[in-house]
Structure formats: structure tokens, C-alpha cells
Amino acid sequence: MQQEKAQKNNKGGRPVKAIKRNIALTVKCTAIEKITICSKARTARVTVSEYLRTLGLSGNPVMLLKTIPAEILKFSAALNHVGALLNQVAKKRNSNDELNAFERADLKLLQAQVREILKTIKTGLR
């Protein structure tokens, strides 16, 4: 009697998988990229899904992260500082105000800093 029940429950067909892949992931690419991916999957003798899944899970993706060297960031900060101070000087000069001794000394210091930055840039590019 139990054998009859077991036969009724097992109707045949494809066995049930332990881990079912039922989530779709779409990928946008050009026609040439699609042909290349399909060709590589065919060469590897796997489906395109299996090829991309394996590549995505175990491959080393190329990181397109651009890093800016610290020296360039320092130069940029220094030049922004100089630009802000020059803007203040231009504003004073345009309103016909004279520069006091402190402001003239600050300008001379900035001039020396700009020359030093330029010298460092020139030596760094060689």
C-alpha cells in the first residue's frame, strides 16, 4: 500500500534542484560585445548565463577608480587659496582702496609660494 502512495507522489520528470536559480539579471551591451561574450561562452562550452555568473563571482573585475596623487591635491589646494586671495586684492583695488602693509606682506608671501609651487611642478614633470 505504501509503495502505491510512493508511486503516486513520484510522477517522473525532471528532479527538483536543491538551489533554484529563478532571479533574472539583465545586462546592457552592444551587438559586438554580445557576440564576443557568446563566443567566449561557446569556447568554454557553457551557457552565457553560466559564463557570466562564473566570471562575475570568481573573476577579478577591472576597477576604473582614478586616484589623484597627494602632491596634486596639495597643489590644487594652494592654488585655490592663492586664487581666493587674489580675488580679494582685485576687489579692493577695484573699489579704489589702498593695500595696507599687512596685505602687501601677504602678497609677497603668496608670490614666493606660487614661485615655489611652480618650481616643484617643473621638477616633478621631468
Spatial CB neighbours of 50, under 8 Å, sequence gap ≥ 6: 41
Q: In the chain, what percentage of residues exceed pLDDT 90?
A: 10
Number of domains in the chain: 2
For residue 38, what are the domain limits?
20-62
Same domain, 88 and 119: yes
Q: Which residue type does 10 have? A: N
Spatial CB neighbours of 113, under 8 Å, sequence gap ≥ 6: 78, 82
Same domain, 105 and 88: yes
- Which band of pLDDT confidence, cut at 50, 70 and 90, is reported for residue 30? very high
Give the count of beta carbons closer than 10 Å to the beta carbon of residue 116: 11
Q: pLDDT at position 38, please?
A: 92
- On whether residue 26 sits in a domain, the answer given is yes
- On whether residue 85 sits in a domain, the answer given is yes
Same domain, 36 and 76: no
Give the C-alpha separation, 109 to 89, whole Å: 14
Last residue of a domain, one of 62, 87, 116: 62
- On whether residue 2 sits in a domain, the answer given is no
Instruction: For 55-100, write each residue's pLDDT tens digit.
Output: 888 876 655 566 777 777 777 787 788 778 777 777 777 787 777 7
Last residue of a domain, one of 30, 62, 94: 62
